[in-house]
Structure 1
Amino acid sequence: MDLNNSICQATQEIFQTMLMMEASPGEVLTERNNCFENSITAIVGMAGTNKGMLAIHIPEPTALVITSSFLMMEVTEVDEDVKDAIGELANMVAGSIKADLTEQGQEFK
């Protein structure tokens, strides 16, 4: 099971197909830093034989751009639509990861 590859591939595919944006892997964080300040976090749980959680942290300015792309209209402030859009993004990425890992023989519900 190549979890890191599945996460990167799923994220890139969702950004390309749903948002018409490019995403690329960044630095792996091993300890807390200030990158989570002024950001929106969405968490999706995955269960089955394998269990885990996917957390996506998006800086607020990036969340506005993502939401604008989803809604096809300019969004200029963080509101419930922005929070919902980032939650949906996390859900789509988690679903893609689940599908990829299931193809690799991992079991998820």
Structure 2
Amino acid sequence: METVNTLNTAVLKCWSVTSNNNGFIAPELVEYRLRGRIYDDSRCLFPDGSRVRTSPIQKITDCGTHKLVETISTIYSVYAADVDPEYEKAFPNAYKRLNMKRS
């Protein structure tokens, strides 16, 4: 019998990227996360519009019209139009720059 590991899904709006980088953490130990307002949570744990902070980002896939951001247990759909305006002001082109660093 084959076990299928399915991840939960949700849409994140008014999103921004955060990290645990305080200047004293080695670069290879820095974790990046998203925060924002969750919608269409497949687990129904969070009401639409609830503020959340994700677990560390594992993978980002560019699908053209949106990006899929995979964390430990959830795949979040994020869109360019849904970047937090204050975050976009501080970090222009945030959506375009949302990707995993290549070694």
Query: Normalized against structure 1, the TM-score is what?
Result: 0.30
Question: Which structure shows the bigger proportion of residues in helix conformation?
Answer: 1
Query: Normalized against structure 2, the TM-score is what?
Result: 0.31
